[in-house]
Amino acid sequence: MHLIDESRASFVSGSLNTDFPLQNLPYGVFSTSSTGRRIGVAIGDFVLDIAALQATEFAVEAPAHLFAQTTLNALAGEGRGTWTRIRRQLADLLEQGSSFSGSAAANICLVPRASITLHLPFDIGGFTDFYCSEHHASRCSRIIRGSAGGLPPQWQHLPIAYNGRASSVVVSGTPLRRPHGQSLTRDGSSVRWGPTQALDFELELGAFVGPGSALGKPVPLALAGEQIFGYVLLNDWSARDIQRFESAPLGPFQGKAFGTSISAWVVTPDALNYFRSPVEQPAVASYLTFDHGGSATNFDISLSVSLQPKGGTRSIVAKTSPTFMSWSFEQLIAHHTIGGCNLRTGDLIGSGTLSGPKPEQRACLLEMTFDGTQPLLLADGVHRAYLEDFDSVTFTGAGTTKSGQRIGFGSLEGLVLPSFQTEHQ
């Protein structure tokens, strides 16, 4: 079920020409020059300050403590009934012709987005990154292992994942330093220590956990969707040379732990469910099988990556979609908990790199450049094998409704800073 009525419009400026029309209303955490961190929803060129709203006659019906917070954790812990009820109230307030429009309260509570600073929306306790695109997995395996490459034997049976570092998840706009680590030289003859020479991005979608689950109690697939508070764009930065050297037998560590970036606005399922699209799957285990003939679904929305060297022109280098996931987020949650692992409010779940079958749908440089051996041609005649210092990477993502409304995430931006070693030479 989705809650989008395309006939409705907002009185707020820019709401028809941005990623944030009345039909979206994503949550975020922001501050201004005169306020601390606050919870708000994006609408057009503005953000609705819900904490300020709760002090007016237009306050939404919700537990008093939910919006007196500096993160979304308390709200996410309430569950879908509360989320949907609040979203409907906010949409009614922001609709064209409402009593809120033109009121003194609206002038106070609507803050220009150009004047705010955005912050990490959640206190993130755990981060699990999956490996859900068959195109990405099979292509990477061939690049790294040559003719011996192929999908892991478990691929058709379960979603593969590793536990990442929640402590290094940062919000869009936060620069990240080139990490150090150990890796093999290109000819494989020796081990080197130093800054990565193969820094990469990975275009993913992330989901934030809402209520959470009890230790030892798996979440049934039929209820897994109730655990998802909302979605963000996710860049799981990767040091490919470090990752390759360390990964066997336990998987990535330093090659991934230095940073993961997420977009600031959390788009709710009530907005994205409009774009649900079925996923074709083989027969899978019963705990991953939908009842009554149902099927796995993902979102038919457009995602893109652009890359800009320092002082150079920005180039779009990939366009892809979550439809290339072989598993749904509901299945990821069911699998995550089937052994008894609990989920906590604010946990982050990544889709893995969302690559498709076509060259322009390759969502990381490892695939685009065949591990740096076939450099990518950018605007101005610039080439990139992997990311260089002061390169800027931007992700965008949005779905478009039948009437042309864009339901989007804004942008996810990251800048590569030199390593500490390089900076202090």
Quick one: DSSP state of residue 354?
-
Reference 127, options 263, 19, 259, 321; nearest CA is 259
Tokens standing for residue 182: 């150990």
Q: Is 346 left (phi over 0), alpha (psi -120 to 50) or beta?
A: left
Residues 6+ apart with CB under 8 A from 243: 252, 254, 255, 256
What b/e readout covers 5-43, taking b as 16+ CB neighbours within 10 angstroms? eeeebbbbeebeebbbbbbbbbbbbbeeeeeebbbbbbb
The pair of structure tokens assigned to 114 is 């150009």
Beta strand 191-195 with 260-262: parallel, antiparallel or unpaired? unpaired
Tell me the one-letter amino acid at 202.
E
**Under 8 Å between Cβ of 300 and 399:** yes
β pairing state of 376-377 and 110-112: unpaired
The set of catalytic residues is 136
Listed residue (40, 115, 107, 33) closest to 70, CA to CA: 40
